[in-house]
Amino acid sequence: MKIAIVGCGSRHQMFRDAVLEDYADRHEIVALCDSNPHRLNEAAKIVSQPGTNGVATYLAADFDRLIAEQKPDTVVVATPDFLHADYIVRAFEAGCDVICEKPLTIDLSRLKMIVDAQARTGRQVKVTFNYRYSPARTQIKELISAGTIGTITAVDFRWHLDRVHGADYFRRWHRQKENSGGLLVHKSTHHFDLLNWWLASVPQEVLASGRRVFYRPETAVEMGLQDHGPRCADCPVASSCLFRLDLAADENLKRLYREAEHEDGYYRDLCVFDAEIGIEDTMQAHIRYASGATANYTLTAYSPWEGLEITFQGTKGEITHRHVEVHGVFGGVRAHADEDAITTTLHLAGEAPRQLEVPKAEGSHGGADPVMLGYIFNPEGMEPDRYGRASDHVAGAWSILTGIAANASIESGSLVHIPSMLNARGIRI
Ligand SMILES: NC(=O)c1ccc[n+]([C@@H]2O[C@H](COP(=O)([O-])OP(=O)(O)OC[C@H]3O[C@@H](n4cnc5c(N)ncnc54)[C@H](O)[C@@H]3O)[C@@H](O)[C@H]2O)c1
């Protein structure tokens, strides 16, 4: 197929490299589009094959011309989250299918635009929920759908972002809800999608709380960093700050962001302790599913380690899954976990708990990305997907509705009923 990529920042590299390195015999990148001319040119240098005229490049304002001139079959959307809906709808209207980075979008009005355009045009969007494809998470799906622990009644799910990964959401566009929906949408879309998929159900009611307790000026004062500047590049206390991001020290960050910032003022290294940050770093939600199961969910963005812990209670027993991705951050440096840091324990009622062997795979996101890319770019070459891992606009929508409802609950202090929320906006999923 002929592919156009919109948004040539960090994440587009995964799609680009997959097409160029693994699926060049089946697909071709015909065009690139970005609002930033520097990043656009950098991306084009890599995509252009020796001996060809190179790849066509378009600034954001010329997206419609891109479609008219290059006639792509599929548009890959890898822009900041708040822009996904606009590009999806324009691609649909032009007769293209879409591969969209998560989250599908960030709020109800944009979701309605996507759902209505999909119904009108019949085009398809694949939302790239790579977490579904990690072998360890697929094993949980297999256990639950086989009825191993009976009917799932209650879930406890905790996700820990450490002080390197977690901090990164407070440095750039993610730090404002109008760009990302906050972490309950931007990040939790993965986690709520896993819950929907594991439980084979959808959320109905959400009661949530959220606060920013760590990435704020008071923490800078506690750490003796009160004289910090607006960004790391010219911060007077950078040398004593463990949260410093030195864009010039990393070739990829320098090329992608530092050398591009004069074009649009997109600074990748804003101070994580800024007063004007608008998203929470500590979030909890209680969720009731259509299946009757309930879940407690916690996300923190300043944990001493990174990973997840989840326990499923069922009528026949319990599954506990724990994945330590990073053991800890010491002096700003992460200690990555070894291979044995994933455990899944099956405890059937009346039996002793059993440690299950957890399947592993190579590649980014716990081996999930290469498997997902195979299903996207060469589905015929893969085994039939008996776990139903491919995600369309419906799965994409349900994965953000828990977070959108949680945001509404944080604002109102009340429980939010999702079907009523959708009805009030005329959204039919
Ligand atoms: N699935 C995952 O694990 C994963 C990981 C990282 C990022 N993502 C997603 O990928 C997307 C991109 O994230 P990123 O980290 O690459 O961000 P980024 O800021 O590095 O890149 C975004 C790019 O979009 C461009 N852009 C901004 N406005 C634009 C416009 N109007 N039109 C076209 N391009 C525009 C920017 O110039 C930039 O090059 C986000 O939606 C994010 O949630 C997913």
Pair 371, 361: CB distance under 8 Å: yes
In the structure, what pLDDT confidence band is assigned to residue 50 with cuts at 50, 70 and 90?
low
Strands 97-100 and 28-34: unpaired
Tokens of 271: 């101070």
Tokens of 325: 């991705």
Non-local CB neighbours of 28 within 8 Å, separated by 6+ positions:
1, 2, 3, 19
**Co-location of 347 and 201 in the same domain:** yes
For position 189, what pLDDT does the model report? 98
Please state the atom number of ligand 1 nearest to the C-alpha of residue 84. 41
Residue 375 in any domain: the answer is: no
Residue 416 exposed, middle or buried by CB count within 10 Å (0-12, 13-18, 19+)? buried
Non-local CB neighbours of 342 within 8 Å, separated by 6+ positions:
136, 321, 322, 323, 324, 358, 360, 366
Residue 313 in any domain: the answer is: yes
**Co-location of 156 and 200 in the same domain:** yes
Pair 344, 319: CB distance under 8 Å: yes
Please state the atom number of ligand 1 nearest to the C-alpha of residue 11. 16
For position 364, what pLDDT does the model report? 80
**Co-location of 245 and 282 in the same domain:** no
Please state the atom number of ligand 1 nearest to the C-alpha of residue 81. 41
For position 368, what pLDDT does the model report? 87
How far is it, in rounded angstroms, from Cα 128 to Cα 108?
Answer: 20
Verify cis geometry, omega within 30 degrees of 0, for the bond prior to 103: yes
Pair 86, 61: CB distance under 8 Å: no
- pLDDT of 51 > 70? The answer is no
- pLDDT of 231 > 90? The answer is yes
**Co-location of 142 and 238 in the same domain:** no
For position 49, what pLDDT does the model report? 67
Q: Which of 272-281, 358-367, 400-409 has the lowest mean pLDDT?
A: 358-367
Query: What integer is the mean pLDDT of 105-109?
Result: 98
Query: What integer is the mean pLDDT of 178-189?
Result: 98
**Co-location of 21 and 159 in the same domain:** no
| Domain harbouring 165, CATH code | 3.30.360.10
Residue 366 in any domain: the answer is: no
Nearest protein Cα to ligand 1, atom 9: 101
Non-local CB neighbours of 203 within 8 Å, separated by 6+ positions:
192, 195, 196, 287, 288, 289, 290, 398, 401, 402, 405, 418
Percentage of the chain exceeding pLDDT 70: 98
DSSP reduced 3-state for 72: coil
Query: What integer is the mean pLDDT of 234-250?
Result: 96
For position 366, what pLDDT does the model report? 76
CA–centroid distance, 14 to ligand 1, in Å, is 12
How far is it, in rounded angstroms, from Cα 106 to Cα 400?
Answer: 7
**Co-location of 260 and 284 in the same domain:** no
How far is it, in rounded angstroms, from Cα 270 to Cα 34?
Answer: 21
- pLDDT of 333 > 90? The answer is no
% helix, strand, coil for the chain, step of 5: 40, 25, 35
Residue 314 in any domain: the answer is: yes
| Domain harbouring 106, CATH code | 3.40.50.720
CA–centroid distance, 171 to ligand 1, in Å, is 14
Strands 28-34 and 56-59: parallel
Residue burial 236-258, b: 16+ Cβ < 10 Å; e: rest: ebbeebebbbebeeeeebeebbb
**Co-location of 191 and 324 in the same domain:** yes
For position 52, what pLDDT does the model report? 62
DSSP reduced 3-state for 346: strand
* Whole-number average pLDDT of the chain: 95
Tally of structural domains, the chain: 3
CA–centroid distance, 38 to ligand 1, in Å, is 15
For position 339, what pLDDT does the model report? 63
**Co-location of 148 and 258 in the same domain:** no
Which residue among 34, 98, 177, 391 is best mutated to probe the pocket of ligand 1, counting the most ligand atoms within 8 A of its Cβ?
Answer: 34
Tokens of 211: 């606060």
In the structure, which protein residues have their CB atom closer than 6 angstroms to any atom of ligand 1?
A: 6-11, 33-36, 39, 60, 78-81, 83, 101-102, 128, 130, 186
**Co-location of 108 and 206 in the same domain:** no
Non-local CB neighbours of 403 within 8 Å, separated by 6+ positions:
103, 181, 182, 184, 185, 188, 189, 192
**H/E stretch holding 125:** strand 125-127
In the structure, what pLDDT confidence band is assigned to residue 340 with cuts at 50, 70 and 90?
low
Domain assignment of residue 236, given as a range:
226-264
**Co-location of 16 and 125 in the same domain:** yes
Q: How far is CA 421 from the centre of its chain?
A: 23
- pLDDT of 128 > 70? The answer is yes
